[in-house]
Structure 1
Amino acid sequence: MRKFVLLCLLALCHAKPYKPINIMDVLRDHDILMRDADDDDDDDENDLFPSWDPPEPDCPFGCQCSRRVVQCSDLGLISVPDKIPVNTLMIDLQNNDITEIKEDDFKGMDKLYALYLVNNKISKVHPKAFRSMEKLQLLYLSYNLLTQIPPNLPQNILELRIHDNKINRVQKEAFKGMRSLHVLEMSANPLANKGIELGAFDSMSTLYIRIAEAKLTAVPKDLPSSLTELHLDYNNIAKVEVEDFLRYKNLMRLGLGFNQIKSVENGSLASIPNLREVHLDNNKLKKVPPGLSSLKYLQVVYLHANNINSVGVNDFCPVRSRAKKNLYTGISLFANPVKYWDVQPATFRCVSGRRGVQLGNFRRK
């Protein structure tokens, strides 16, 4: 179930221009996401949205309330409305002009599962604003004006989206106790390496983190060791060093595209033996990174749009023919000054098929 939920969420985790969340789509998928959840206080067991629920008698003015879902999007609200029923499961407040989340805005809402505050003007969140949300699992705070991670976040959150804010610092223990967090999306914030305090990610067991479009100049070395996916695209990382991935031995997918990487130190990739996919496209590499041939699970490598001018016969495949290695399904080398006619046919002997390699011609701009 954990892996299935992660795959469902990843599709939403790319920092793009604001697109409103379709709440009806969320409702349609909700039973799948919660089919193994326990709710001892609910007489309907796991059916969180029973069709026989009558409309809510107390509904904020202008909002639509039904089946324990409160929709108040696109109303020009400057604050969280009053009279939201305390038994609400989902609140949609996206695309308003809310500037602050106050202490009692969500008081008593201990059954709340999802809270959408996307595309507002929120710059301040009271330290006790989420104190009663023990069952909150989806919190979307993207496209606001926050300068730091809100304090005292609920510990049971499954997904936290906080990209496109003004966060330039991640304070120590910002995510304290959040062992259930699967996905953390915090791209498009002016966050530099020095803005990540030591211990900021302690006690977390996150699977997916994306810090793209930030101001990172190196791979952060204090992220959760449980990571299976790390995306640091569109930063200013200049090189990959041996110690960069020592902590992240479970990584299966790594995104470092659109940086300024000129070199990958020998042995850097040996620390992540389970790697399946690596993105190093649109950098300044002059050669194929060393160590790819030793990664037996690696299947997809993006190296296009670099400065690679030659490809060795053993850059991708093991020297020993009997060495175990999953076949590559994709290797991209186009937009490099490599003379494809000089590449030996045996170079791609461990690729699944002819279409698995993309060389192409190189044209100088």
Structure 2
Amino acid sequence: MRVLLLLCLLALGNAKPYQPVNITDLMKNYDIMVADSDDDDNEDDDDYDDDNDDCPANCRCSPRVVQCSDEGLISVPEKIPEDTVMIDLQNNDITDIKEDDFKGLSKLYGLFLINNKISKIHPKAFRNMDNLRLLYLSYNMLTEIPANLPPNVIELRFHENNINRVQKDAFKGLRKLHVLELGANPLANSGIEMGAFNGLSTLYIGIAEAKLTAVPKDFPSSITELSLDYNKISKVEIEDFIRYKNLQRLGLGFNQIKSVENGSFANIPNIRQIHLDHNRLKKVPPGLNSLRYVQVVFLHGNKISNVGINDFCPVMAGMKKNLYTGISLFANPVKYWNIQPSTFRCVAGQRGIQLGNFRK
């Protein structure tokens, strides 16, 4: 159930470029996960009632949902019904969140403030919001992580703000957090304080399109997916992944990586996907042939000129548990006709290999 939930969250929130969140889809997921039997027979959930006296001005309301997107609002509407579970405030001009903006909304499950102009959030804005699970603050003007985040939130999104510092204990108490998105912020390694992720058991962390020059070493040891694409990382070292033994997907595409230290991948024995495309590697990273479960390795767009017979597959038959389903080597100067056929002896079919000619 935990994995299914993570996949649903990522599917709903990973779209690029920016697309509005579909509240109807989220409500369907909410009804499934919460199993709200009191409303199972309510067939009017998607019928808006703009004339409802309880519906805030400039908003559309349906049972448990208040939608106020694309209305040019400069502040959170007043008199939001206390039984609301979803509030959609996307694409407005809200500049700050005040202390009492969400007062009394103890049943709130999802709060969507994407694409506003928010630069300030009152430290008590999220008090008594113990049921809040989804908090989307992407595409705003925040410079740091807000204080006193809802304690039971499972997904936090701060994509494309102005965050350049993540302070120690920034996510203190968020023991149920599964997804943390910090991509497209001017965040450098020096801006991540030691202990910033204390107490988390997060499954996914994304800091793509930032200013990282090395793999951060203080992420929660629980992570299964790490996205660090589009940074300025120049090398991978053994100590980079020592903490992340549960990692299953690693995104390091579009960096400046020239080398991967031998033994680096030994620390992530459960890895399934490795994305190292569009870097500056001159050879296949060492240690891939010792990974029993890896299925996808992207190496296209590098400077690899030679591929050895044992670069991908173990020497001894039967050592690999999962066959490769995708190895990409196109857009490299390697001459594919010089690669021995047995190099890909542990690949599930010819379609799993992508070579092609190198073109400058």
TM-score range normalised by the length of the shorter chain: over 0.9
Deviation of 1:49 after TM superposition, in Å, equals 8.7
Which residue, out of 120, 123, 134, partners 2:119? 123
Task: Say which is worse superposed, 222-231 or 57-66, in terms of deviation.
Answer: 57-66
Say whether residues 1:175 and 2:167 are aligned partners.
no
* 1:12-161 mapped onto 2 (5 Å cutoff): 12-14=12-14, 16-35=16-35, 45=37, 47=39, 50-51=42-43, 56-161=52-157
Letter in 2 for 1:195: G
Q: Deviations over 1:17-48 (max 9, x none)?
A: 3211222222233322333xxxxxxxx64647
- Partner residue, 1:8: 8
More moved, 47-56 vs 197-206: 47-56
How many angstroms does 1:201 deviate by?
A: 0.2
CA distance in 2, matches of 1:63, 1:346: 63
Q: 1:333 to 1:136 in 2, by over 3 A?
A: same
- CA distance 1:149–1:158, shift in 2 (3 Å): same
Q: Which residue of 2 aligns with 1:301?
A: 297
Partner Cα distance (1:50, 1:161) in 2: 31
Of the structure 1 ranges 317-326 and 137-146, higher mean CA displacement relative to structure 2 is found in 317-326
Q: Which residue of 2 aligns with 1:267?
A: 263
Deviations 1:121-140 (A, max 9, x none): 00000000000100000100
Describe the superposition over 1:178-231 as per-residue Cα deviations: whole angstroms up to 9, x where unpaired.
111111111000000000011110000000011000000000000111000001
2:338 aligned to which of 334, 337, 342: 342
State the distance in 1 between where 2:2 and 2:195 align: 26
Task: Name the CA distance, whole Å, in 2 between partners of 1:151 and 1:279.
Answer: 34
- Give the secondary structure class of the aligned counterpart of 1:331: strand
Q: Matches of 1:78 and 1:187 in 2, distance apart?
A: 26
Structure 1 unaligned residues grouped into runs of 5+: 36-43
Counterpart for residue 41 of structure 1: none
Aligned-partner residue type, residue 21 of structure 1: V
Distance 1:295 1:11, change over 3 A: same
1: distance between equivalents of 2:41 and 2:247?
Answer: 37
- Deviation of 1:258 after TM superposition, in Å, equals 0.3
> How many residues are aligned here?
356
TM-score of the pair, normalised by structure 2: 0.96
Q: Aligned partners of 2:96, 2:244: CA distance in 1, in Å? A: 37
- Contact 2:206–2:227, Cα closer than 8 Å, also in 1: yes
Aligned to 2:183: 187
Residue 4 of structure 1 aligns to a residue whose secondary structure is helix
Deviation of the 1:16 alpha carbon? 2.3
Percent of aligned positions that are identical: 71
Shift of the 138–315 alpha-carbon distance from structure 1 to 2, 3 Å rule, reads same
For residues 322 and 134 of structure 1, the distance between their equivalents in structure 2, rounded to whole angstroms, comes to 50
C-alpha separation between the residues in 1 aligned to 2:319 and 2:64? Answer: 57
Q: Could you tell me whether the CA contact under 8 Å between 2:12 and 2:21 is conserved in 1?
A: no
- Closer, same or farther in 2 for the Cα pair 1:296/1:112, shift >3 Å? same
Which residue identity lines up with residue 7 of structure 1 in the other structure?
L
Q: Determine the C-alpha separation between the residues in 2 that align with 1:144 and 1:342.
A: 51
Q: 1:221 to 1:49 in 2, by over 3 A?
A: farther
Partner Cα separation in structure 2 for residue 167 and residue 48 of structure 1? 41
User: Structure 1 residues 170, 334: CA separation in 2 closer, same or farther (over 3 Å shift)?
Assistant: same
Alpha-carbon shift at residue 94 of structure 1 (Å): 0.6
**1:40 alignment counterpart:** none
Matched, 1:226 2:222: yes
- AA matched with 1:67: P
CA distance in 2, matches of 1:51, 1:119: 31
Output the CA distance in 2 between the equivalents of 1:7 and 1:258. Answer: 24
Q: Provide, for residues 239-271 of structure 1, a one-character-per-residue CA deviation record: whole Å limited to 9, x for no partner.
A: 000000000000000000000000000000000
Mapped partners of 1:80, 1:114: distance in 2: 15
Equivalent position amino acid for 2:28 in 1: R
Instruction: Please report how far the alpha carbon of residue 325 of structure 1 lies from its aligned counterpart in structure 2 after TM superposition.
Output: 3.4
Which whole-Å CA distance do the structure 1 matches of 2:305 and 2:343 have between them? 15
One-letter amino acid of the counterpart of residue 182, structure 2 = M
Aligned residue in 2 for 1:38: none
Which amino acid is the alignment partner of residue 5 of structure 2?
Answer: V
Q: Which amino acid aligns with 2:348?
A: S
Instruction: Check whether the contact 1:50–1:67 (CA below 8 A) recurs between aligned residues.
Output: no
Shift of 1:341: 1.0
Deviation at 1:86, TM superposition (A): 1.7
Once the 2 structures are TM-superposed, how far is the Cα of residue 88 of structure 1 from its aligned partner?
A: 1.0
Opposite residue 200 of structure 1, the aligned amino acid is A
Change (3 A) 1:15 1:199: farther
Q: Which amino acid aligns with 2:257?
A: I
The aligned amino acid for 1:9 is L
Q: Is the 1:15–1:187 Cα contact (8 Å) retained in structure 2?
A: no
Matched, 1:215 2:242: no
Aligned counterparts of 1:101 and 1:248: Cα–Cα separation in 2: 36
CA 1:95/1:48 → structure 2, altered by over 3 Å: closer, same or farther? farther
Q: Is the 8 A contact 1:13 1:185 kept in 2?
A: no
Partner Cα distance (2:258, 2:201) in 1: 31
